[in-house]
Amino acid sequence: MQEMISDLLKNCLPYKLVQLEGQTLCRWLVIDRKNFIEPFFEETISGYMEEKANSSRFKCVSSLEVIPEWADHLDCIEPTAFIFHVSRCGSTLISQLLSLLDENIVLSEVPFFDSLLRDSGILPEKTNRSQLLQAAIRFYGAKRQKKQSRVFIKTDSWHILYYSQLRAIYPTVPFILLYRDPGEVIRSQQKRRGMQAVPGMIEPSLFGFTDEVMNALSLDDYIIKVLEKYFTCFITIAKEDPLAFPVNYNEGPMAIMEKLAGIISMPIDQPYIDEIRKRSLYHAKYPANVFQEEQKLTNLVSGNKDLLDLYHSLEALRVSGRVQRQNEPVQFFG
């Protein structure tokens, strides 16, 4: 009976909070058993929404209370690593490289996780959000194929501000802190701004911004302030958390994957190395497009000493080896 229940539940995902007649409910999505391979989980959801089971006028909903109860019946894989990032720093590419292995489940910026962390007022006041989040992660990390043995969670960039909550839930899971030269991040945001780069899209209080600060900032000044917050968090965490590992995008995809493999003791064989090199030639967010490195503009944040100092301080931590604490050296086979 337990196996039958688990088999039924692993084909369902809690994916949206809704309010109906004053009650907060959870909408569910019926899925098949394939791997999650899209660059962002929103794309995965969009694909499933087109299927008959999810496009019906009748929607599958439940109370919030059943999520932890049902999660206990699942055969799931606990998170292998969390990938935090400052945005536009290669996190999408790294998640795509990890998804090349059938053993890996890669959860890239799952909207439901953000809903539980950020809570825009829809959750009841006394909701145990940590319990709900852990249960939701169990559903997303359910073992749907025999080979699957690892779960990687690529967070939204602002989830680093929930570090304490996530570390309390997962005290032994490695946290990867992925970052990049801030000038390169800002240049990418100027071309196409993410939520965290547009004032008001993410509640200002999360970053500690007052209305007065918000009203005085240009778009570029705003993302500079956001990046200062991210880098400050990364530095503090890297100094204090022995399971937090700073990684710079400029190290290159292969070096990053070798480092990550060392941290989690994940073997790398020659076919996988070849796949990494092949996939790295293409754009992370648009896999059909060949990637072209943009021309570097070194003066983009040259006038902002605070942000540059934070970047160089984090780099000094990484380069000095202060936080190079891999569990085992990476293994190569074949």
Our measurement of the distance from residue 6's CA atom to the centroid of its chain's CA atoms, rounded to an integer in Å, reads 26
**Cα atoms in the 13 Å half-sphere on the side-chain side of 71:** 20
Q: How many CB atoms lie within 10 A of CB 8?
A: 11
Identify the pLDDT of residue 285: 58
List the pLDDT tens digit at each of the 334 positions of the chain: 456 556 778 889 999 999 988 899 999 998 875 678 888 888 888 888 877 777 777 788 999 999 999 999 999 999 999 999 999 999 999 999 999 999 999 999 999 999 999 976 889 988 999 999 999 999 999 999 999 999 999 999 999 999 999 999 999 999 999 999 999 999 999 999 999 999 999 999 999 999 888 889 999 999 999 999 999 999 999 999 999 999 999 999 999 999 999 999 999 999 999 999 998 887 555 555 444 555 554 455 666 889 999 999 999 999 986 544 444 433 333 2
* Rounded distance between C-alpha atoms, residue 16 and residue 41, angstroms: 13
* Rounded distance between C-alpha atoms, residue 329 and residue 181, angstroms: 27
Q: What are phi and psi of 269, to 5 degrees?
A: -105, 170
Secondary structure element (H or E) that encloses residue 106, with its range: strand 104-108
Give me the residues paired with residue 133 across strands. none
Our measurement of the distance from residue 217's CA atom to the centroid of its chain's CA atoms, rounded to an integer in Å, reads 27
Nearby residues of 130 by Cβ (< 8 Å), 6 or more positions away: 165, 168, 169
Identify the pLDDT of residue 38: 86
Nearby residues of 121 by Cβ (< 8 Å), 6 or more positions away: none
Q: How many CB atoms lie within 10 A of CB 327?
A: 10
Our measurement of the distance from residue 324's CA atom to the centroid of its chain's CA atoms, rounded to an integer in Å, reads 21
Identify the pLDDT of residue 303: 63
Amino acid at 28: W
Amino acid at 191: K
- Domains of the chain from N-terminus onward: 76-103+149-333 (3.40.50)
Secondary structure element (H or E) that encloses residue 151, with its range: strand 150-154
In this structure, are strands 332-333 and 268-269 parallel, antiparallel, or unpaired?
Answer: parallel
